[in-house]
Structure 1
Amino acid sequence: MSLESVKAFLAERAPDLAVIETGQRTATVAEAAAVLGLPPARIAKTLSLRKGDEVFLVVVRGDARLDNRKARAAFGGKVRMLDLAEVEGLTGHPVGGVCPFGLAQPLKVYCDASLRDFDEVAPAAGSIDSAVRLSPMRLAELTGAVWVDVCQEIQEAAA
């Protein structure tokens, strides 16, 4: 169902984008990078976060780590990762396939400024063996994302 909801989302809003069904596991940044032939930094990972009762997604480059101080400033308080059990219920996507497309319910989406380092990134597409390639700007446009700076500085060597 999750892969199908992403396909339906893209068919409606971006019919020019194709979901890549790899037939191989792409659930981690390392797995996705190896299967897709991309550096890990270009894998766009989607973090499922909560601040109080508010649940939202933040899409970041694959080698980025959340900076708690920056996140607190950007989101107006302490954020925490969703429990694994909560993720699929709230997003409709299994852990390892979470993306900002075809969500089970509307969630606010943010894109970290770190994504702007690339002309193309590859987020998951709703399953643990799928992805889609698109520009970070297109990703933000399709999801109505707000740009934020919430990740630790990247030591540039493997872009």
Structure 2
Amino acid sequence: MERCKSYFTSRNAQFLIDRIREFADSSATVELAAARLGCSPAEIAKSLSFLQRKAMTKAEAKAHQKAVLELRKQQQQQPSEEGSDSAGSTPAGSPTSALLDSTVVVIVAAGDAKVNAKKYKEKFLGQPKMLKREEVEALTGFPPGGVCPFGVNDNVRVYLDVSLRRFATVYPAVGTANSGIPLSTEELEQYASNVVEWVDLCDGWQSGGEGDGEEAAAATTADAETKKAANESAKVAEEIRA
């Protein structure tokens, strides 16, 4: 939490320090955080951490692949007398070493939202791979349950998901697994670290989902009532014929 406080101070946002709420009990999950903060689970701004190879556009990815193939071809054409130590080695700045370059992506999303793998892949040109629990603190700067977008490590890139924009106030953690802070989405965007952009990467939160379910339930009920009425009519017809 002290890391977040120092970050807010560096951003001339001391007023945010006064809003921080610290709890005696854990707020590490969406449900626990909502209970501690007195809000709905959806209003919790959860920070999801992914290990992502350096993002490239499709054109960059194509050029990168071509460069890798050319490099391999050059290596195969090298005379064997250059020595076994140099044969097959790859310069540090080569395309193949760039392939190993990675960064940490933190997606801040509503508590009821789930990252869509297809959307993620289209955005970052790779499958979503969440950080392992033992990697979280070293790579983000915060422990599991306390990851937030305030004062993250320099190589972390923060994306804000549009699922948060439904709410006037959202509640991210503040660097520990027993804390939270109320912010408007405008304040979140303004004071979060290393924000790249707003993205649409999550599903499961759209109001249409609930509406579709209600409509389906209503349709099922209507069908049942129609069948019941038809059965009753048939029964009456049989009695009349008798």
TM-score, normalised via structure 2 length: 0.61
Query: Taking structure 1 as reference, are residues 152 and 78 closer, same or farther at Cα in structure 2, changes over 3 Å only?
Result: same
What does residue 123 of structure 2 align with?
Answer: 74
What does residue 32 of structure 2 align with?
Answer: 31
CA contact (8 A) 2:47 2:148 kept: yes
Are 1:54 and 2:52 matched, yes or no?
no
Query: Which residue identity lines up with residue 56 of structure 1 in the other structure?
Result: V
Unmatched 5+ stretches in structure 1: none
SS at 1:115's partner residue? helix
In 2, Cα distance between equivalents of 1:129 and 1:111: 22
SS at 2:148's partner residue? coil
What does residue 14 of structure 2 align with?
Answer: 15
Greater share of residues in helix: 2
Q: How does 1:7-156 map to 2 (within 5 A)?
A: 7-13=5-11, 14-17=13-16, 18-52=19-53, 53-143=102-192, 144-145=194-195, 146-156=197-207
SS at 2:122's partner residue? helix
In 2, Cα distance between equivalents of 1:132 and 1:139: 10
SS at 1:54's partner residue? strand
SS at 1:48's partner residue? strand
In 2, Cα distance between equivalents of 1:56 and 1:22: 27
1:155 deviates by: 4.6
Q: Which residue of 4, 7, 13 corresponds with 1:6?
A: 4
Farther off after superposition, 147-156 or 53-62: 147-156
Greater share of residues in strand: 1
Q: Once the two structures are aligned, what percentage of the paired residues are identical? A: 42
Unmatched 5+ stretches in structure 2: 54-101, 211-242
1:55 deviates by: 1.2
SS at 2:188's partner residue? helix
1:11 deviates by: 2.3
In 2, Cα distance between equivalents of 1:121 and 1:22: 17
SS at 1:123's partner residue? coil
In 1, Cα distance between equivalents of 2:22 and 2:183: 15
Aligned residues: 155
CA RMSD, Structure 1 to Structure 2 (Å): 1.4
Larger CA Rg, structure 1 vs 2: 2
1:137 deviates by: 2.0
CA contact (8 A) 2:103 2:157 kept: no
In 2, Cα distance between equivalents of 1:23 and 1:106: 32
Structure 1 runs of 4+ aligned residues shifted over 6 Å read none
CA contact (8 A) 1:7 1:19 kept: no
CA contact (8 A) 1:30 1:40 kept: yes
1:79 deviates by: 2.1
Farther off after superposition, 6-15 or 114-123: 6-15
